[in-house]
Chain A
Amino acid sequence: MSSVNGAVPTTIIVAGLALAGYALLMTALNRRMNVPLLAAVGVLEILLLVEVGIIVAKLTGGQRPAALATLIGYLIATPIVPVVAAFWGLMERSRWGPAVIAVAGLVAAVLMVRLHQIWPVIHV
């Protein structure tokens, strides 16, 4: 069970870093936002929603972290990050649109580490 729990955050970290690398490469090559990059953001968003679902299931199962308020704040903020980044990046017509997506990828990876620090039950 614990290996299944750890699989999703690990996948998110790898996917977030890969997305950040790909987006930064687009910035370096002077590329604008395109459909493949948006699709990748969509995949990251789905993974984050799955992870939020897993954590909510733990909470409804009766388990509680010490910092419950902080955890709930993270659960609300986490799925919003890629959505806001996609909108903000799409408004940009230059190479700096993908740069915003790169930030979202890095943030997703960092959020998984922070979630583990807040509640060690969440394996990475």
Chain B
Amino acid sequence: MSEPAASPGPAASPGPAASPGPAASPEPAASQPDSTRTGPGRLLVAVYGLFALSASARAGVQIATKFGHAPVAYVLSAFAGVVYILATVTLTLGSPTARRIAVLSCSVELAGVLAVGTWSLADPASFPDATVWSGYGSGYGFVPLVLPVFGLLWLRRWSRRARTPGNDRGVSGRYRRSGRWRHSPW
């Protein structure tokens, strides 16, 4: 497993770019995602989903069992959880309206991690217990700080593509209407 060079399984071919995978489609097409949840968006939605689950579940347990211990931190954790859920759902849907909501939630998220991060460092007394956004997300490997930036960059690419005339590779594009995506081998 740690020796990838020695494990070119049945699916991996020696040819680096021209791998005749099961899809039999031109390889460069894979670099052109068809919706906000494919391509790099696949990774983004996965990480957002992870944070949506962990932040909201943790906040739920904390509010239910020991709310009085650190009310500010727990309410902020719950708010972060809601923002993550919203971003996960809208990035998965990818419609023009969903993308607008996704831009909004990613912006709120970025503002939140910067504001709460600064607040937690300036006034530690208000945070006897950590939130997702404490210390700019230092307890979570600073992923909460990086995630909204990548989310906004990804969404900006989409709004640009939608504005380009003649480019209909967006979510409502020819690709989707043709139904080709249904025949994906995966």
Taking Cβ atoms with an 8 Å cutoff, the residues of A that contact B are 15, 18-19, 21-22, 25-26, 29-36, 40, 43, 67, 69-70, 73, 77, 85, 88-97, 99-100, 103, 107
Contacts and interface: CB of A to CB of B under 8 A. Distances in A.
A18 B50 contact: no
Contacts of A70: 58, 61
A73 B42 contact: no
Contact of B42 (A21, A35, A96): A96
Contacts of A100: 42-43, 46
Given A18-B1, A22-B1, A107-B50, A93 B186 contact: yes
A109 B40 CA distance: 23
Nearest to A36: B9
Interface string B33-60: 1000011111101110010010001100
Nearest to A26: B4
Contacts of A90: 186
Given A96-B43, A100-B46, A19 B186 contact: no
Contacts of A89: 42
Interface residues of B, number: 37
Contacts of B12: 31, 34, 36
Nearest to B58: A70
B153 to A, nearest CB: 15
Binding site secondary structure of chain A:
helix
29 contacts: A18-B1, A19-B1, A21-B2, A22-B1, A22-B2, A22-B4, A29-B4, A30-B17, A32-B11, A33-B186, A35-B9, A35-B11, A70-B58, A85-B46, A88-B46, A90-B186, A91-B42, A91-B184, A92-B38, A92-B186, A93-B25, A93-B30, A94-B33, A94-B38, A96-B41, A96-B43, A97-B186, A103-B46, A103-B50
Given A34-B9, A34-B12, A93-B23, A99 B42 contact: yes
A95 B30 CA distance: 8
B185 interface: yes
Given A34-B9, A73-B57, A77-B53, A96 B186 contact: no
Contacts of B57: 73, 77
Contacts of B31: 94
